[in-house]
Chains A and B, each alone.
Chain A
Amino acid sequence: MRIRLITICSFISLLSFSQDHGYFGKKNTLSININASNPLIYNYLNSGVATYKASGNGVVIGKSQIDYGYSGAFSHYFSGNFGLGAEVAATYGKINTDDSYTIFDPNSFSYEYVSLDVEQLSIRTITIMPKIEFNPIGDQLPVGINHQIGFGVSTTKLLEKDYKYRLVSANNGNAQFGTSLYAPYQKVGKYYNLTAMYAFNIRTPISKSLMINYGLRYNLNFALSSLIDELGFGTDNYNNSNGPAMQIRDEIRQKRISSIMNFNIGITYVF
């Protein structure tokens, strides 16, 4: 019996109808995912820089080991192999800031060198991305393995909050802690970049309408130089008032470029 049925494969080449596709015939999905990654490359690139994280009312040496985020996506499947979709994602991460000041005391006509040790700054990246989904092998989309390729725009901004810091005088080693430092970074503004994405995703159904999905995704981020110029951050000038903001934009840029890979897991509703 089994053997006989197996030979059907050659026979059925005669008759092959285009079967309705989709999961239980449903061709649209809404997904909610959380994603996480270790900023391995960013941390590696900044391995020579002292980084700080908040501790109590002050900061201690340390760095964030995880970037995280969430995303929502909609997809429509035109066949069992191909679909189009769009997603909106928010990712949270940390960047370094390394700053020092020279303070001139007009009374004593002396300079005091102060090191500003700020906890890693929080950034949030919002990405809007149309994408295609495909699976060259098999015709079961949205179920199972799917490859996604997307190209979109990301905007990153520094989160407004009171960052903890300490000021350390290089002259006498005195340290002063603070818990509300944001004002110097207000000028950072938004950082835009283009994002190209490839994701390897797997969806496993758990009911007639729900699936668990998980996978890996790679991002390539490209700076939008025209926007940078337009915002007037094109000059390398540490002495002007934009100095700290400029430095932070560089950090954001580096962070974005080095955020290559993340893992995501979520749930998909099929309708």
Chain B
Amino acid sequence: MKKLLILIALGCFQNLQAQVDFNNYVTLQSKGPIPKDFATQTHLKLEEDLKTDREGLSKSEEAKFLDIIHYGIDNMLHSGVCVYGDEVSTYVSDIAKNLLKDQPEVFSKLRFYTLKSNMANAFSTDQGIVFVTTGLISQFSNEAQLAYVLAHEISHYTENHVVQGFDWKLKNRRHQDFIDEMSTYSKDKEFEADKLAVALCHKAGYSDDELFNSFDVLMYSYLPFDEIELPKNYFNTTDFYIPENLFPKEKYKIKAEDDYDDSQSSHPNIKKRKEAVNDELNKFTDWKTARFVVDEKRFYEVRNICRFENVRTDVIEGSFGNALYSIYLLEREFPESINLARMKAHCWSGLMNFKDNGNINQAINSTSQLEGEGAAMHYLLKKLDKKSLHSLALRTVHDAKKRNPEDKELSLLYDQIVTELASNPNFKREEYSKSGFHQASKDFIALQDSLKNVDTTLQVVAEEGTKKTSKYDRIKRKKDPNVIESFDSTNYCFYGLYDILEDVGFKQQFDQEKEKTRLEEEEETRISKLSLSERKKIRIKQEKEAAQLGIKELIVVEPTVASYNSLGINNAKSEELESDLSEAIHYVGKEFETGLYDINKRTMEQGGTNAFNERSTIMTYLYQVMVADNDEISVIPVDYQLMQDVENNYGTTNVLFTLVEHSYRPRINPGAVVGFIFLPPVLPVYLLNGFLSANRTEITFIVLDLEKGRASYARTAYQNTPVKKWNLRSQMHNFFKEITSTPKK
């Protein structure tokens, strides 16, 4: 009986674990105890690993290899996009466990983590970490395909390909490039891993057909996770209308081919890989047919998680065209998802920001990149002019808010759009029609029809009446969307918004914002009329006051140092200096009696998974703010709910980021040195200056105000001194002095 109860309880737990509420989806969070990979400092890992000899590498090569690999991997682990113990990682781990059921000793050495990245990729490291991206999993059709890619990566690990294929040029690549490099081996090694993966999958009982299909997944993984036509009425409502001519007339071809020229590539082309794998598949005759071995239900759930993550990643990165198409695809299965509604609102708000600032191309694919069904979304966004985009954004976000009146995030996004419209001088409420597009169109047609039936005498009378109105009255009438005969279908964006524009709440907010903008403009005009010195005085005063934030508490996230030498980043020195930087912040924080809460990788062990998740949330937000690249607007966090938790947990909305970059590049010109033979006294100063002023240190401070959704303080201090304890403390002092003070009344 007891056993039965335990089994029931376990079953319930598994069900609970497996159930993800996609209607209220919250981004993947790390779970369980924090793994050593995340909690141990990099130099300690290095020291530990250096004790083991690696075949084929000299001691110095080994040191270099480990330095690059460890720091590269740790940067990725702490980049804010990596998660552990989550639904995806555990599922991937379970598949690997099944693949390695005959090699438990290999499985016990492996750790599986998920990267929230839209790059479709997976790779293993020399240390036994296997990374799989959400972008890759979102593309698979079944578990067998995922198992094959995993088996391939596990084979790279077991065959020690990472060390053998180590590229010495890895150092200092951006982390996306690092992923590329980590998943790049020679053609021979790729073939070898493919073959070994076939054997592993065969043992695990997967279908051979699906393994073969995995290559199609890889080939088309640059496209969205599905290929479904975007309906031309997708954006239409009963009153709002987007004309069909804004959609592409013809389909965009998918260009990928499996027999591409791979002479310059480290990977063999897909066709060759397929052929090689086919030979390997034929070696086994007893293939089973399973597309799912571990759990079919979990696969679909995990894939959906990854697809939701794809949308989130696109929103963070400002790839709003891709995000909107993915949202459309997911809405088919989850039409009631509030998460998708929020993401959509983020997209429209972001698109408005990009469009108004003239960098809409950041958010959509270029014409040469348009392929497949997803191209329609990009094409449409490219075609929309500012006013149309404003109307569509307002309509979409308003409707989403109306459906979810209690949702704070949607309300904030809607408010942001209203604020932006109010501050836009080209948005005039009176330009908008009081009827919907379809109604206006019907009225117009009815009017045309009625005019046809009117007898000639009446027409003459009407013309006489026209003569009595002036040219200017007629122009005004033509421009007025509320005049039936002025209806013009190309002005579609002026119809179907009446309910919003006449809404009391909208009007009140709009008018308030408009008034605020007017007052700001008036103040600007007043200042512009002052003398140069008065303007300078005011500017200095304003800048000073803007920096006086009166901060009493700060969340200090990851004080970072990048110390460069001639080879690139000196990781060990950087890590050492990071401790000094952290110490300097605390030294000065104490002096100013500022409450400081650390969230960084050095304190991860104490903070545990909760701190790790909080750190990831904040890092993501910082990135989102950077992508928005506009200090005029508030950036609503893509993980709004989680950010609220962070604020509540720490009781402050101010987050401090600091970055110190230091390089030393002596500038001694041998020609000049020779020249100074004729002017010897100048040589010592030339040499001193050349060597000593070769230090370049930049200290960047950013205070992110989570409540306001923007950076409230950002500054870089430049020094031509090395990074030293007292220098750092002094800079910190000046910084704290400003942000802790309050403007004088």
- Pick the residue among B692, B698, B720, B738 that contacts A19 (CB under 8 A): B738
Residue-wise, chain A 136-179 has the 8 Å CB interface mask toward B (1 for contact) of 01111001110000000000000000000000000000000000
Q: Which residues of A contact B711 (CB under 8 A)?
A: 11-12, 14-15
Q: Which of A11, A18, A139 has the most CB of B within 10 A?
A: A11
Among A248-270, those with CB < 8 Å from B are: 260-261
Q: Which of A2, A3, A10 has the most CB of B within 10 A?
A: A2
B19 to chain A, nearest CB (A): 32
Cβ A144 vs Cβ B717 within 8 A: no
Q: Which residues of A contact B543 (CB under 8 A)?
A: 17-18
In the complex, A183 has a CB within 8 A of chain B: no
Segment from B210-218, B406-414, B621-629, B636-644 that makes contact with A:
B621-629
Cβ A23 vs Cβ B544 within 8 A: no
Given known pairs A4-B623, A5-B560, the reply for A16 and B718 (CB within 8 Å) is no
In the complex, A21 has a CB within 8 A of chain B: yes
Residue-wise, chain B 707-745 has the 8 Å CB interface mask toward A (1 for contact) of 000010111111111001011011101110110000000
Q: Which of B78, B623, B711, B730 has the most CB of A within 10 A?
A: B730
A188 to chain B, nearest CB (A): 28
B479 to chain A, nearest CB (A): 37
A14 to chain B, nearest CB (A): 4
- Pick the residue among B685, B693, B729, B735 that contacts A218 (CB under 8 A): B685
Assembly CA distance A81 to B689 (angstroms) = 17
Cβ A4 vs Cβ B544 within 8 A: no
Q: Which residues of A contact B8 (CB under 8 A)?
A: none
Assembly CA distance A270 to B718 (angstroms) = 20
Q: Which residues of A contact B560 (CB under 8 A)?
A: 1-2, 5
Segment from A45-53, A64-72, A203-211, A227-235 that makes contact with B:
A203-211
Assembly CA distance A20 to B700 (angstroms) = 14
Cβ B174 vs Cβ A216 within 8 A: no
Cβ A19 vs Cβ B715 within 8 A: yes
Given known pairs A20-B737, A140-B719, A200-B688, the reply for A12 and B702 (CB within 8 Å) is yes
Q: Which residues of A contact B619 (CB under 8 A)?
A: 1, 4
B319 to chain A, nearest CB (A): 16
Assembly CA distance A178 to B197 (angstroms) = 103
Cβ B713 vs Cβ A17 within 8 A: yes
In the complex, A7 has a CB within 8 A of chain B: yes
In the complex, B188 has a CB within 8 A of chain A: no
Cβ B714 vs Cβ A11 within 8 A: yes
Assembly CA distance A7 to B693 (angstroms) = 24
Cβ B730 vs Cβ A143 within 8 A: yes
Assembly CA distance A4 to B620 (angstroms) = 10
Cβ A2 vs Cβ B75 within 8 A: yes
Cβ B714 vs Cβ A15 within 8 A: yes
Cβ A24 vs Cβ B733 within 8 A: yes
Cβ A204 vs Cβ B631 within 8 A: no
Cβ B726 vs Cβ A1 within 8 A: no
Task: Number of B interface residues at 8 Å Cβ cutoff, please give it.
Answer: 60
Assembly CA distance A145 to B695 (angstroms) = 10
With CB as the reference atom, state the residue of chain A lying closest to B661.
A6
Assembly CA distance A24 to B584 (angstroms) = 12
Residue-wise, chain B 606-627 has the 8 Å CB interface mask toward A (1 for contact) of 0000000000000100110110
With CB as the reference atom, state the residue of chain A lying closest to B600.
A1
In the complex, B318 has a CB within 8 A of chain A: no
Cβ B692 vs Cβ A145 within 8 A: yes
Assembly CA distance A52 to B695 (angstroms) = 46
In the complex, A194 has a CB within 8 A of chain B: no
Assembly CA distance A192 to B300 (angstroms) = 93
Assembly CA distance A200 to B691 (angstroms) = 13
- Pick the residue among B661, B681, B724, B738 that contacts A205 (CB under 8 A): B724
Assembly CA distance A19 to B700 (angstroms) = 12
Q: Which residues of A contact B685 (CB under 8 A)?
A: 200, 216, 218
- Pick the residue among A16, A25, A144, A218 that contacts B721 (CB under 8 A): A144
Assembly CA distance A17 to B697 (angstroms) = 18
Number of A-B contacts (CB under 8 A): 157
A57 to chain B, nearest CB (A): 39
In the complex, B350 has a CB within 8 A of chain A: no
Cβ A143 vs Cβ B626 within 8 A: no
Assembly CA distance A17 to B739 (angstroms) = 11
B661 to chain A, nearest CB (A): 7
Residue-wise, chain B 542-566 has the 8 Å CB interface mask toward A (1 for contact) of 0110110000000000101010000
In the complex, A245 has a CB within 8 A of chain B: no
With CB as the reference atom, state the residue of chain A lying closest to B689.
A200
In the complex, B684 has a CB within 8 A of chain A: yes
Assembly CA distance A260 to B738 (angstroms) = 44
Q: Which residues of A contact B39 (CB under 8 A)?
A: none
Q: Which residues of B contact A8 (CB under 8 A)?
A: 626, 657, 659, 700, 702, 714
Cβ B717 vs Cβ A140 within 8 A: yes
Assembly CA distance A3 to B574 (angstroms) = 13
Q: Which residues of A contact B574 (CB under 8 A)?
A: 2
Residue-wise, chain B 675-709 has the 8 Å CB interface mask toward A (1 for contact) of 00000010011001100110011101010000000
Given known pairs A1-B558, A145-B693, the reply for A139 and B546 (CB within 8 Å) is no
Assembly CA distance A202 to B685 (angstroms) = 12
- Pick the residue among A3, A7, A204 that contacts B724 (CB under 8 A): A204
Q: Which residues of A contact B629 (CB under 8 A)?
A: 10-11, 14
A133 to chain B, nearest CB (A): 14
Q: Which of A12, A16, A23, A208 has the most CB of B within 10 A?
A: A12
Given known pairs A12-B715, A17-B715, A200-B689, the reply for A2 and B737 (CB within 8 Å) is no
A251 to chain B, nearest CB (A): 21
B499 to chain A, nearest CB (A): 36
B620 to chain A, nearest CB (A): 10
In the complex, A91 has a CB within 8 A of chain B: no
Assembly CA distance A16 to B698 (angstroms) = 14
Cβ A16 vs Cβ B719 within 8 A: no
Cβ B626 vs Cβ A4 within 8 A: yes
Q: Which residues of A contact B496 (CB under 8 A)?
A: none
What are 24 A-B residue pairs whose CB atoms fall within 8 Å in the complex? Answer: A2-B75, A2-B659, A3-B79, A4-B80, A4-B623, A8-B626, A8-B657, A9-B698, A12-B714, A18-B543, A19-B547, A20-B734, A80-B717, A135-B720, A140-B730, A140-B731, A143-B730, A144-B721, A200-B688, A204-B721, A205-B724, A205-B730, A218-B681, A260-B681
Chain A interface (Cβ within 8 Å of chain B)? 1-12, 14-25, 80, 135, 137-140, 143-145, 200, 202, 204-208, 215-216, 218, 260-261
The 6 A-B pairs at the shortest CB distance, nearest first, are namely: A205-B726, A144-B721, A17-B547, A12-B714, A15-B714, A5-B659
